[in-house]
Amino acid sequence: MKINLKIIVVLVLMLGVTVWAVDSIRSRSYNGTALNFSVGHGTVSVTNPSDASVPAQIVGTGSRSFTVTNASDGVSGPSTREGTGRTTTQLFEVTLLPGANVFTVVGGTGVNFVADTDTRLEATVQPLDQNETRSTLIAVAVVILAGLFYISHSTGHRWLRSARSIKAAEEAAAAKVLAEKTVEPSQGRAMRSYGDNRT
């Protein structure tokens, strides 16, 4: 009973890690006016459907600065420190050109995109960069493989014995079919020779 309980705990852990990984990697979508959302470390794409540029800000909390790279217009640079003490923030002003605006943020803490505008914007955010995504997938794979090994070990590798039994049965059946095919067909009943019974 204890082994079964441990197996259930391991299965729950594997499921939880998988759900966490999917939620961490999946992209987030936002749309509307006066957008305010967390940026993360991946690519951010904000679409401005209007014909005019829209001002926006990238704001981080604390004293740790961040760097913005805008792939759309080539603008990049570090954030600027605003305020002092507990009210310290990091600020980077951006201009959203008509169409798609793609940028990434490196560093900082609690970085948010803020656009106080009446223009209805559409945004897609990838929370993790490529290295973080790869690391997350590797971590999930390690946890799942370790969990499967633990379950297999706890059950005495029963699945392996079952797989071997099934394979042996299939091989035996295949050998039997092959043997039946190679047997020479019967030549039929031999003809009898009768003598001449005429008197």
Domain ranges of the chain: 27-129
* 152-169 residue pLDDT tens: 877 765 555 555 556 656
Give the residue, 101 or 171, on which the prediction is more confident: 101
pLDDT the model gives residue 5: 82
Pairing relationship of beta strands 43-48 and 121-125 according to DSSP bridges: antiparallel
Average pLDDT across the chain, whole number = 82
Beta bridge partners of 56: 94
Answer whether residue 196 shows pLDDT above 60. no
Secondary element (H or E) of residue 94: strand 89-96
- Topology given in CATH for the domain delimited by 27-129: Jelly Rolls (2.60.120)
The structure tokens listed for 173 are 């059946």
DSSP letter at 157? T
Report whether 68 contacts 144 (CB < 8 A): no
